[in-house]
């Protein structure tokens, strides 16, 4: 055809000529996929998104993703120059980044020099010397004083006993006893009561028979907040009453059938140790309980009684005692005080303790260990003696990041028990029961080599499956569930020359299990340590406790003093360490410093690196691994163990959730230091051997609101002053199980009561079992 001379005035470009057609029909995913294929074909994608045609001719397929390697680099870091190379190496093993992106400590070591380890410190709660005073000089009968010396190995009283015993023997006035922990308050009020009742036994009736016997009824009642403390008081009372075999003491603390307790009351008791909830229940429903002759009422650990909500029960008990005493005033027993003597024991003088004193005390005298003359006592409302830690107690703190908490605790325990005889017993306080259970499984788990050997030795050949028509008569019923173990050897802490036993204790165990565990730990003569909640922080006199470790900080400074008071008792030496996170928690160092007695050793400061270097030393034959490698290897072993065992994974998640809820319940005055908004939940999850994201950690079987831990919900729950406590039902249920409040309580009723209790007082939580 001839040229018509037309000139086209447009450019076609350098690329291939393509046509654009609209993609219609089908689902939107198919249309989107077709658009991407067309975009690859037309070359409209960016060069960084388009694969090289020479390396990958299939333009319609998605380019291969870059293999992600956990090399402990932040997400915002730039890719290395080697990323341009399309060849990839084999994926690396997962590395536990324990030592990366940890916050730095903001506090510095104390300026005052710490005292040397061997420098002696004069004890502040030791018994007095024989040259200073003995029990006979305190108006104790010679027979009872000889019993104390020969049978109970108590040769001299303590300072608080010196101030209290003459006052309670000579006068019938109410008293408020205040002394530091481990100073002998139990004997201070039991000795005068037993002495006064023994004097009554010398009286005769008109027929010449003994006026006092088992059926004479109750003369004294001792109220304690927990079952463990009640049992300990009962043990001391039984030892005292061996000097007067005609007197009978007993307990009603729950944990057993009421029928057994009623039978005990019908046989007759002279001195009763009880918990307020169970005693109030018996006063209302047990006719055999006659309290008309009660002339001594002791409220031990008064601050704890109020904090746990026993104020209403104590009001009922006091009212019932007053009513019964008025009824029996026509025929009083000769020698009994005309009015009842009320004794309140407490380490602190907070407002709630004063409120309890207003309920039970009238014109009370204040007795404390610093009184120079036992007869010179001041009124309880005019003096506020400060409660401090014993002077001979050596305290320290460790600044440990959240990711290093678990391995640092293991290293510190291993270091403490490294040499046989260096440390015999230790107590580790943990905030909640679920966390206690998890850490118990961690420290009692067998090493990987032992697990492999046991698995190979117990492996059995597979048996062929039975058909549904065979073996029906031979099938056996499932075995009953085994009893929960509370003690086992700890391979993690033990050494070839020193075997260490691990115990656990919390309020969710049945009372029989708790009592058995506590007795076993007390009588154990081999090295051992106890993982427990605050159920063991009050009043318990556990012998030979060398070290107290506060793995989780206490919920109030008063609770801290009671925790560390389990060691350095009656003039003995002791050590205490608390774990703190870098950041706001370091403000707690000032609180620790204010609670030290005058002349006490300075606070020692430790870091995670220091604990790991001492607890994970290099082996004799170096294996090329430094401390960080050994700590990482141990942590990876825990994480793999948690992932391989579904039961342990659930236990870790429960412990993690309960720990966060417990962390949100510090008292208001200390919440600026223990602020949940400053808590790194991801780092904390690593301390429980978890690799999940915090928002995805849940436990099967729990309600969504109580089981799923979400950062926004947990943090929102402590803002705005409402402080909607997600653990209210759990704590109230624990109070019922642990402290024996009468009656079963539903979750809704428990939550309602908990809200009422929070409105009345602002107290710290003590133990949680969110399950």
Q: Do 548 and 402 belong to one domain?
A: yes
Query: Is the separation of the CB atoms in 728 and 756 below 8 Å?
Result: no
- pLDDT recorded at residue 9: 55
Question: Residue 272 pairs with which residues in a beta bridge?
Answer: 221, 250
| Regions in the chain scoring below 70 on pLDDT | 1-22, 41-96, 109-133, 181, 202-211, 328-332, 348-352, 370-387, 447-483, 539, 570-571, 598-600, 618-624, 700-771
DSSP state of 483: P
CA distance 577 to 416: 12
Domain count, the chain: 3
Handedness of CA 348, 229, 657, 771 (dihedral sign): negative
Q: Rounded to two decimals, what is the model's pTM?
A: 0.65
3-state class (DSSP) for residue 429: strand
Euclidean distance between CA atoms 635 and 455, whole angstroms: 22
- Let me know whether 295 and 186 are in one domain: yes
**Domain membership of residue 342 as a residue range:** 172-379
Which of 243, 254, 294, 300 shows the shortest CA–CA distance to 270?
294
One-character DSSP codes across 684-717: HHHTTT--S-GGG---TTS-HHHH---HHHHHHT
User: Distance between CA atoms of 229 and 541, rounded to whole angstroms?
Assistant: 9
**Exposed/middle/buried for 747, CB within 10 Å: 0-12, 13-18, 19+?**
middle
State whether 297 and 411 are in the same domain. no
Helix (H, G, I), strand (E, B) or coil at 655: helix
Length of the chain: 771
Give the percent of the chain with pLDDT over 70.
65
User: Angle formed by the axes of helices 311-327 and 351-360, to 10°?
Assistant: 20
152: Cβ–Cβ under 8 A, 6 or more apart, which residues?
239, 240
User: How far is C-alpha 251 from the chain's CA centre?
Assistant: 26
Cβ–Cβ under 8 Å, residues 340 and 297 = yes
Report how far apart, in Å, the C-alpha atoms of 131 and of each of 126, 156, 305 are: 14, 9, 38
Token readout for 104 is 């730095």
The per-residue pLDDT for range 7-22, each reduced to its tens digit, is 555 555 555 555 556 6
Beta bridge partners of 531: 428, 504
The 3-state DSSP class for residue 299 equals strand
Q: Looking at residue 4, what is its pLDDT?
A: 57
Domain C-terminal end among 557, 589, 615? 615
Chain centroid offset of residue 40 CA: 62
150 within a domain of the structure (yes/no): no
The answer to whether position 544 is within a domain reads yes
Domain boundary among 567, 591, 615: 615
C-alpha to C-alpha distance for 308 and 226, rounded to whole angstroms: 10
Per-residue pLDDT, 577: 95
Residue 309 inside a domain? The answer is yes
Six token digits for residue 590: 């000032």
CA pair distance 260, 263, nearest whole angstrom: 5
Is 490 found in the same domain as 364? Answer: no
Domain match, 259 and 310 both: yes
- What ranges in 90-158 are assigned the alpha helix state H? 142-150
Q: What token pair was written down for 85? A: 């190379």
CA–CA distance from 744 to each of 257, 433, 749 (Å)?
14, 20, 10
Put the strands of the sheet holding 393-399 in their side by side order.
487-489, 501-505, 528-532, 425-429, 547-550, 574-580, 393-399, 604-607
DSSP 180: -
Residue 697 to residue 704: CA distance in whole angstroms = 11
CA–CA separation, 305 and 465 (whole Å): 60
Contact 368, 178 (CB under 8 A): yes
Indicate whether 374 and 401 sit together in one domain: no
Distance (Å, rounded) from C-alpha 286 to C-alpha 184? 33
Task: Look at residue 401 and tell me if it is in a domain.
Answer: yes
- Token digits for 645? 């065992």
Q: Tell whether 532 is covered by a domain.
A: yes
- My answer on whether 334 and 438 are in the same domain is no
Percent of residues in the chain assigned helix, strand, coil, to nearest 5: 40, 10, 50
* 687 within some domain: no
DSSP code, position 215: G
Please count the other Cβ atoms lying within 10 Å of the Cβ belonging to residue 457: 7
In 237-286 the beta strands, taken as DSSP E runs, fall at 249-252, 271-274
Same domain, 496 and 604: yes
Rg (CA), the chain: 34
Q: Residues 406, 609: contact at Cβ < 8 Å?
A: no
Which CATH number is 603's domain given?
3.40.50.300
Token output for 353: 């303790």
**Does one domain contain both 300 and 364?**
yes
DSSP per-residue letters across 8-77: ------SS---------SS-HHHHHHHHHHHHHHHT-S-TTTSPPTTT---TTSPPPPPPP---S--TTS
Is there a single domain that holds both residue 302 and residue 429?
no
User: CA–CA separation, 426 vs 417, rounded Å?
Assistant: 9
Residue 235 counted as domain residue: yes
Domain co-membership, 192 together with 230 = yes
Distance between CA atoms of residues 120 and 572, nearest Å: 11
> Is the residue at 10 inside a domain?
no
Same domain, 304 and 341: yes
CB count, 10 Å around CB of 335?
A: 15
Q: Tell me what pLDDT residue 110 has.
A: 56
Q: Which of 13, 38, 66 is the last residue of a domain?
A: 66
């Amino acid at each position: 055809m001839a040229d018509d001379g037309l000139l086209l005035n447009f450019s076609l470009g350098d690329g291939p000529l393509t046509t654009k057609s609209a993609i219609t029909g089908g689902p939107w995913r198919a249309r989107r996929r077709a658009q991407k294929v067309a975009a690859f074909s037309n070359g409209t994608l960016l060069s960084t998104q388009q694969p090289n045609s020479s390396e990958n001719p299939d333009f319609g397929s998605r380019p291969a993703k870059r293999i992600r390697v956990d090399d402990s680099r932040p997400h915002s870091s730039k890719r290395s120059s080697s990323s341009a190379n399309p060849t990839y190496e084999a994926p690396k093993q997962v590395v536990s980044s324990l030592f990366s992106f940890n916050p730095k400590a903001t506090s510095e070591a104390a300026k005052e020099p710490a005292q040397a380890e061997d420098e002696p410190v004069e004890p502040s709660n030791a018994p007095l010397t024989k040259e200073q005073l003995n029990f006979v000089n305190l108006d104790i009968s010679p027979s009872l004083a000889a019993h104390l010396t020969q049978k109970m190995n108590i040769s001299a009283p303590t300072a608080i006993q010196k101030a209290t015993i003459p006052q309670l023997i000579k006068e019938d006035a109410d008293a408020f006893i205040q002394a530091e922990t481990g100073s002998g308050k139990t004997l201070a009020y039991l000795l005068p009561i037993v002495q006064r009742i023994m004097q009554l036994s010398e009286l005769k009736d008109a027929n010449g028979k003994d006026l006092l016997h088992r059926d004479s009824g109750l003369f004294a009642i001792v109220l304690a907040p927990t079952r463990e403390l009640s049992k300990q008081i009962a043990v001391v009372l039984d030892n005292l009453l061996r000097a007067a075999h005609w007197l009978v003491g007993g307990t009603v603390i729950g944990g057993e059938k009421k029928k057994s307790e009623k039978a005990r009351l019908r046989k007759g008791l002279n001195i009763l140790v009880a918990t307020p909830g169970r005693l109030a229940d018996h006063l209302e429903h047990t006719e055999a309980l006659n309290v008309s002759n009660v002339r001594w009422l002791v409220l031990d650990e008064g601050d704890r009684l109020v904090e746990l909500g026993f104020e209403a029960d104590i009001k009922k008990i006091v009212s019932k005692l007053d009513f019964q005493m008025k009824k029996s005033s026509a025929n009083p027993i000769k020698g009994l005080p005309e009015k009842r003597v009320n004794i309140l024991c407490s380490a602190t003088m907070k407002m709630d303790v004063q409120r309890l004193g207003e309920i039970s005390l009238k014109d009370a005298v204040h007795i404390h260990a610093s009184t120079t003359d036992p007869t010179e006592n001041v009124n309880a409302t005019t003096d506020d003696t400060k409660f401090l830690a014993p002077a001979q107690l050596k305290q320290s703190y460790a600044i440990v990041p959240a990711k290093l908490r678990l391995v640092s605790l293991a290293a510190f325990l291993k270091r403490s028990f490294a040499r046989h005889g260096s440390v015999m017993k230790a107590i580790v306080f943990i905030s909640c029961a679920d966390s206690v259970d998890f850490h118990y499984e961690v420290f009692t788990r067998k090493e990987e080599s032992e697990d492999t050997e046991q698995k190979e030795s117990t492996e059995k050949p597979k048996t062929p499956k039975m058909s549904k028509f065979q073996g029906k008569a031979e099938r056996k019923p499932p075995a009953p569930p085994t009893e929960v173990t509370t003690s086992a050897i700890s391979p993690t802490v033990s050494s070839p020359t020193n075997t260490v036993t691990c115990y656990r204790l919390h309020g969710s165990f049945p009372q029989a299990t708790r009592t058995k565990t506590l007795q076993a730990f007390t009588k154990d003569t081999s090295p051992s340590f106890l993982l427990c909640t605050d159920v063991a922080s009050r009043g318990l006199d556990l012998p030979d406790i060398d070290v107290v470790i506060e793995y989780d900080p206490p919920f109030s400074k008063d609770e801290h003093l009671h925790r560390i008071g389990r060691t350095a008792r009656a003039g003995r030496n002791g050590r205490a360490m608390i774990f703190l996170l870098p950041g706001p928690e370091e403000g707690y160092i000032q609180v620790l410093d204010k609670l030290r007695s005058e002349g006490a050793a300075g606070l020692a400061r430790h870091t995670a690196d220091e604990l790991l270097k001492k607890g994970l030393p290099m082996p004799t034959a170096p294996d090329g691994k430094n401390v960080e490698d050994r700590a990482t290897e141990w942590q990876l072993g825990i994480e793999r163990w948690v992932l391989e065992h579904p039961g342990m994974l659930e236990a870790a998640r429960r412990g993690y959730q309960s720990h966060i809820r417990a962390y949100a319940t510090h008292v208001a005055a200390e919440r600026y230091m223990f602020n949940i908004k400053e808590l790194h939940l991801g780092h904390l999850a690593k301390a429980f051997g978890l690799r999940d994201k915090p928002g995805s950690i849940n436990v099967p079987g729990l309600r969504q609101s109580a089981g799923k831990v979400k950062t926004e919900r947990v943090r929102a729950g402590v803002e705005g002053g409402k402080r909607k406590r997600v653990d209210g039902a759990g704590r109230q249920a624990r109070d019922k199980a642990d402290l024996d409040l009468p009656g079963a309580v539903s979750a809704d009723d428990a939550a309602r009561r908990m809200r009422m209790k929070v409105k009345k007082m602002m107290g710290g939580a003590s133990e949680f079992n969110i399950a």
